[in-house]
Amino acid sequence: MAPVEEAKREPRAEEFPYRVASPEFFFLLQRIDRLDEKLSAEISAVRQEIRQEVASLKGHFWGAVAAITAVFTLGVVVLEWVLRR
């Protein structure tokens, strides 16, 4: 292949584009990309776990609010009943 045609040709994904950067830089760039993908996946997993925990806590919170409201209402009713006697 002629040098001009070689320069115009797009490199394959696994092929090092020599005209752009050194092999060492290209290796580090690929490594950073893989680490970024792993970190992004881990962040997504943790985010999902947090959402599940928050949803669970919301359920417990509203359950506690309902229980406290019921006890308070029952207390008021009993107090009113006792005072009317």
SS3 68: helix
pTM of the model: 0.52
pLDDT digits (tens, 9 = 90+) for 19-39: 667 888 889 999 999 999 999
Q: What is the pLDDT of residue 5?
A: 66
Q: What is the pLDDT of residue 24?
A: 87
Helix or strand (DSSP H, E) at 60: helix 23-84
The first and second tokens of residue 18, run together, are: 């020599």
Give the Cα separation of 54 and 46 in Å (integer). 12
Q: How confident is the model at residue 4 (pLDDT cuts 50, 70, 90)?
A: low
Q: Kindly list the domain boundaries of the chain, sorted by start residue.
A: 22-84
- Return the closest-CA partner of residue 24 out of 16, 14, 33, 35: 16
pLDDT digits (tens, 9 = 90+) for 40-79: 999 999 999 999 999 999 989 999 999 999 999 999 999 9
The first and second tokens of residue 82, run together, are: 């006792």
